[in-house]
Structure 1
Amino acid sequence: MHDPFFVPASSFVFGETIKPLCDYLSLRSLPSHIHEILFAFGVYHLIFEYIAPPLSSLFLSHRYSKLSYESKLRWNMHCASMVSSCTICALALWTIVMDDERRNMNLIERLWGYTGAAALVQALATGYFLFDLVVMIRYLDVFGLGMLVHASSCLITYTLGFRPIFNYYGCVFMLYELSTPFLNIHWFFDKLGMTGTKAQLYNGIALLVVFFCCRLVWGAYSSFNIYRDVWNALHLTEAAKMGSNNDEMMRFAGDRSLPMWLVVLYMSGHVTLQALNVFWFGKMIAAVKKRFVKTEKKS
């Protein structure tokens, strides 16, 4: 499926300008999507800096104005995160359902293939992670080193996808973000003085269910699939790597190599993230249970 995003004329000029650097870095599909990355970065920067603060002050002045400097920064970041997670999940689901080329990819195409719609999802995610990294660097004292490392690793991983590599799986792992809106709402409830309310409890239950299904069950299943594809690809002959007749889908494939450093980077990242998901799930259960017990005591 072709990229449905509007392409401004200036993007062709900019794409051609950065093409030599992208070719040198083996990011062959990046020039075709650099405008989407910059667009997403700009949108989230505007939300964080110029939209969330005044709108929050206007509609929630009795709460937002009383927040500390650090809490206001986190509030603005949660606003950008809310828009990003809802948008990227909707787009990822739409691509999974509507992109017939992507759905019918074989092993070779899942690793080195490319469709414009799947790359759009990847580009918008990259734009958000670029924004996230900039914020983490600017306010390192507020968000901490751990969040800086997270932002850096996500940006590197999704940028490397423009080799292209694992273009098929970009949409798959973006569905992790289905739990993020519930997490943001949970945080907002605390800041709005709604800690321990039934609304927060119901949202907490939804958060646990969605997190478990999307990150633990779907995440483990998808990680197994990508491990299997990588294992099979590492045992392919050079002739077998040419097993695709779709020239359009493979137009950025290059030599169809799978460097060991790239395998280690992706695989170790997935193992680490799955371990973190289990850890975070335990923390979420404890947090929701704590608030529920407090509510019961009050009644």
Structure 2
Amino acid sequence: LLLLLDARFQADRMYATTPLSYAVCYISAGYFLHDLVMCTIRFSLEGPLYLTHALVCHMAYTFGAATGFLHYHGAAFLMWEISTPFVHARWFMYKAGLANSKLYVLNGLAMLSAFFGCRIVWGYVGSYRLVTDVLRERFIEGSLFPLGGTVGYCLIAAIMNTLNTYWFYKMVVAAVHVLIKGKKGAEVGSHKDE
């Protein structure tokens, strides 16, 4: 959030960097490398969508860390992860046998709200800014930003928004089963039973 509010990053979303922005990119690249390894090892449990998510995120943050490009957007897309604590809390409550509790339902509603706000609303706005920034940069004579980066980041935006939209749809379907059709939380709980 500090990077997003920094005037240097608002003025130059393509090339502005600070030691903090490099740290964010390095830590994120490392985190998503770990995520990629875990999704590969546990492929039968995680599946191709989580593996794709981990790979795309690792590539994006590694590119930013290695080149110094797009640090503003790197920070902006980390805001998507605001929903993650609710996802983990849901899993812990499920494993603790609390899937039929009011706390589980409230956490689920908070998770759904955070996911919608951060990954859908902010995600589409951020992706629009990213795509327009990299496409605009293509038409600036002497631009340092590579063509492969332009194509890659446009694809990344499309892939990530598709994944997030699909996951949000799945969350809404599960919420409908719990809230409207009267199914218990345990019946639509986490299928990742580890």
Q: TM-score w.r.t. structure 1 length? A: 0.56
Counterpart of 1:197 in structure 2 is 101
Gaps of 5+ in 2: 186-194
Shift of residue 158 of structure 1? 1.0
What SS does structure 2 have at the residue aligned with 1:273? helix
CA distance in structure 2 between the partners assigned to 1:222 and 1:177 by the alignment: 14
Give the percent of matched residue pairs that are identical in Structure 1 and Structure 2: 32
Secondary structure of the residue aligned to 2:67 is: coil
CA-CA distance at 1:119 after TM superposition = 1.6
SS at match of 1:236: coil
Distance, in Å, in 1 between the alignment partners of 2:120 and 2:48 is: 25
Q: Aligned match of 2:30 in 127, 144, 149?
A: 127
Distance (Å, rounded) in 2 between the aligned partners of 1:272 and 1:138: 22
| Cα pair 2:39 2:50 within 8 Å, conserved | yes
Distance change >3 Å, CA 145–CA 232, structure 1 → 2: closer
Letter in 2 for 1:129: F
Q: Which residues of 2 match residues 202-241 of structure 1 at below 5 A?
A: 202-238=106-142, 241=143
TM-score normalised by length of structure 2: 0.84
Which of 143, 151, 165 matches 1:278?
A: 165
SS across alignment from 2:183: helix
Residue 8 of structure 2 is matched in structure 1 by 101
Find the partner of 1:159 among 35, 39, 62. Answer: 62
Q: Tell me which amino acid in the other structure corresponds to 1:188.
A: F
Unaligned runs of 5+ in 1: 1-92, 242-255
Letter aligned with residue 132 of structure 1: D
Is 1:112 the counterpart of 2:20? The answer is no
Q: Closer, same or farther in 2 for the Cα pair 1:277/1:128, shift >3 Å?
A: same
SS of the counterpart of 1:113?
Answer: coil
Q: What's the Cα RMSD here?
A: 2.0
Aligned-partner Cα distance in 2 for 1:138–1:277: 23
The alpha-carbon deviation at position 135 of structure 1 amounts to: 2.2
SS state at 2:8 partner: helix
Contact map agreement 1:196 1:294 (CA 8 A) in 2: no
Inter-CA distance 145–283: structure 2 relative to 1 (3 Å threshold): closer
Write out per-residue CA displacement over residues 252-294 of structure 1, whole angstroms, 9 at most, x where no aligned residue: xxxx1x3222211111111121122111111111222323323
The amino acid that maps onto 2:183 is K
Letter in 2 for 1:135: M
- CA drift at 1:196: 2.5
